[in-house]
Amino acid sequence: MQTQARATKAAPSGGKDDMTTPRIAIGLPGTPGVPEMMRIARRAEDLGYESVWVAETRFTRDAMTTAAAVALATERVGIGTAVVNPVTRGAVLTAISFATLDELSGGRAILGIGPGSPHILGKQGFGFDKPLTRMRECLDVTRMLLRGESVTYHGETISVRDVRLDFWPVRPSMPVYFGVTGPRALELAGETADGVILNGYTSADYARRAVERVKAGAERAGRNPEEVDIASFVAVSMDDDAAKARDAIRPLVATYLANFPNIAREAAVEGGVLGAIRRAFDRGGADAAAEHVADDVLDLLVCAGTPAQCRKRMAERRAAGVSLPIVGLAFGDLDAVLEELSPSAAGLGSLLGSPSATG
């Protein structure tokens, strides 16, 4: 069944071993438009960001098209998805898509995969049965196909027969990150993945608990926990006027708390507040629900405020055990955000390691 590997394994661009500058990445959560994404990716590469992560979330732009655009616009950064899911994209299509992206980017692709949201999948007519089993089986089949194997596989959620890629992948493997939230899923990431992407819209305290779960899974599988990269998507809304930055991101925070129950469950937001957000969202959409997102909720879940306040929030994620913060470019002057949080920004190295710094 297994064929000879067709290429030597390459390390992901900007990987963990390069510690000369603070590690940081950017995330493009389905916005802005694709031409602007390309420009931002080029600018991020110039500023020293190690990777660019594109999303396939809600009903925004898809991940594979935007990842391909980023690949064409850049030369060095890693290009990851945060994340695709194994329901709308089956295992075979996942392998084909990422092998193609790896070819286009010259071996810079990073496969970020998560279970998806039952609420968003349900609107498309998909169920949400056995999400962790489906992720594990999807990864098994995808990895075999990338190694050049002819795959026949009959699992609980996935069944393929006599499938083999009709082209040679650039690499027989690529870094795989799980974008997951719950405790069992985090332990699965520690057992099987190269890294984990902690969900945005959760707290620094959640990040600490999540890191321990990932480590527990790695240890149970006989792996070195330090070899599992801990990334975290952190939504950023930055403006010299802190109130303006906060108001801009409230509807987005409300959208995630209303539509992603796994995130809401771990967000440490009081149940009555969550209920009010959901009811307002169902009745009047994101703007109506935003009225129930208070400043203390924003401080808990996102980086919203002045540049100094955003740097402080990023430092808190570092202190919680996050090795790769992914700056989610949500609102504000995106070029200014990139520059303020870049590895080359004056004093950023100390800020990333010191949550007490105020900038």
Question: Who's near 33: CB < 8 A, 6+ residues apart?
Answer: none
Q: Say if strands 324-332 and 229-238 run parallel, antiparallel, or are unpaired.
A: parallel
**How far is it, in rounded angstroms, from Cα 359 to Cα 349?**
11
pLDDT at 20: 58
> What was the pLDDT predicted at 1?
33
What is the phi/psi pair of residue 127, to 5°?
-85, 180
- Omega before 83 within 30 of 0, i.e. cis: yes
Residues 246-279: b if buried by 16+ CB within 10 A, e if exposed: bbbbbbbbbbbbbbbebbbebbebeeebbebbbe
User: What are the φ and ψ backbone dihedral angles of 126, each rounded to 5 degrees?
Assistant: -100, 145
Distance, CA of 295 to CA of 74 (rounded, Å): 37
pLDDT at 153: 98
Is it true that domain 25-241+302-353 has CATH number 3.40.1390.20?
no
Pull the structure tokens for residue 312.
């402080």
Q: Tell me phi and psi for residue 317, to 5 degrees.
A: -70, -40
Q: What is the predicted pLDDT for the residue at 174?
A: 97
Q: Strand, helix or coil at 14?
A: coil
Distance from the Cα of residue 185 to its chain's centroid:
14
Instruction: Measure the CA–CA gap between 180 and 263, rounded to whole angstroms.
Output: 9
Residues of the chain with pLDDT under 50: 1-15, 17, 346-359
- Render 40-53 in DSSP notation, one character per residue: HHHHHHHHT--EEE
Q: Tell me, what's the pLDDT at 5?
A: 32
Q: At 110, is the secondary structure helix, strand, or coil?
A: strand
Residue 258: predicted pLDDT: 92
